[in-house]
Amino acid sequence: MSMDWLSGPHATFILSAYGIALVVSLYVALAPVFSGKRQRRLIADMHQHQDQQTT
């Protein structure tokens, strides 16, 4: 196992590239999870409101 590159001259470039990729992929992966939960809650509220109006 070689970790020498972490102290090498290109470490900043490699870590920056991986860091940015991590941030972008986390955002892309988590956005639908949170928006899905929010939308389900909003839809549930809407249905509840409709049901209350009809009864």
Partner 1 sequence: MTSNTSLWKHTKTWFHRWGSPAWFYRTSGLIIPWLWAGFFLLAVPGLFWGLFIAPADYLQGDSYRIIFIHVPSAWQSMLIFAVMAGFALIGMVWRIRVAETLAMCCAPIGAAFTVVTLISGSLWGKPTWGTFWQWDGRMTSELVLLFLYLGVIGLQQAIEEPRRAARAAGLLALVGVVNLPIIHYSVEWWTTLHQGTTVSLLGESSIAPSMLWPLLLMVGAAKFFFAANLLSRTRNTLLVQDREKNWVRETVWGVKQ
Chain positions contacting partner 1, by CB under 8 A = 1-5, 8-11, 13-14, 16-18, 20-21, 24-25, 27-29, 32-33, 35-36, 39-40, 43-44, 46-47
CA distances from 33 to 21, 27, 44, 47 (A): 19, 10, 17, 21
CB of 17 to partner 1, least distance (A): 4
Query: In whole angstroms, what is the distance from residue 27 CA to residue 18 CA?
Result: 14
- The CA-based diameter of the chain, rounded to the nearest angstrom, is 71
CB of 14 to partner 1, least distance (A): 5
CB of 46 to partner 1, least distance (A): 7
